Structure 1
Amino acid sequence: MEPWSLLYADKRKEYAVTVSGVEIIPDPIIKGKETSFVISAFTDKPLSEGEVVIGVAYFGWSVYSETGDLCANISCLIPAGDFTISYTQLLPTIAPPGSYTLTLKVKDGNKSELTCIKFDFSIGFFTSSEQPMDT
């Protein structure tokens, strides 16, 4: 697993939810295969509802966005403490290779932003059917 570098969108803001890491599975990312982004986070207050907003940019251009229920993949009530957010997406075989930036926002039930992080990832030239076989 590569240590992914993440940045808070607003470095001066104190977010209610802090993020300690990102894991991308598989690593490296393979076009035509599901990719999971697992975000390790901490909250000092329980969360009972909210939404997750995902945005993906390719060389700075917005190419994908999605808003979903925070509790769709996590059992709510999320108690104070450590928790993880998992997001899985099938990357199309036509996705161009190169550098991408994923932005993840977590909002509470009142649409107040609890955290906003950005991290870079890249997609290689191969699709899942073109990957070299392990021997």
Structure 2
Amino acid sequence: MLRASYAAALALCAAPVAAEPATVARITDGDTFRTTSGERIRIAAIDAPETIRSNAKCAAEITRGKASTAELRALIEGRAVDLTRTGQSYNRTVAIVRLDGRDVAAEMVRRGAARPWLRHAPKPDWCS
């Protein structure tokens, strides 16, 4: 079911725009990072648990958020990725992110570090 949900989410946000190369400088959390140019990128079609107390709904979400952040850091920090921009959210570029041709969002979902999420849909519950 997660794969079907993720595939549907990805199809909705995919844009007929060429991918652009970027290098990941720093991971902010499990679905956001900065490039070496300073651009903030929000990975499209997923949601990761929050790491900041004021944004999290429970202590378990913060714990899961730290683990998610570590997963994304291990996966892409310092690496070259391809970005296909799909929009903007909270002063961040929303983009489909690929590493060596693999979809980073799908990999984060596969690892259990993020969940599929359609923009404007209710965010996943990380506390139950």
Range class of TM-score, shorter chain: under 0.3
Higher helix fraction (1 or 2):
2
Q: TM-score, normalised by structure 1?
A: 0.24
Q: TM-score, normalised by structure 2?
A: 0.25
Query: Radius of gyration: which is bigger?
Result: 1
Higher strand fraction (1 or 2):
1
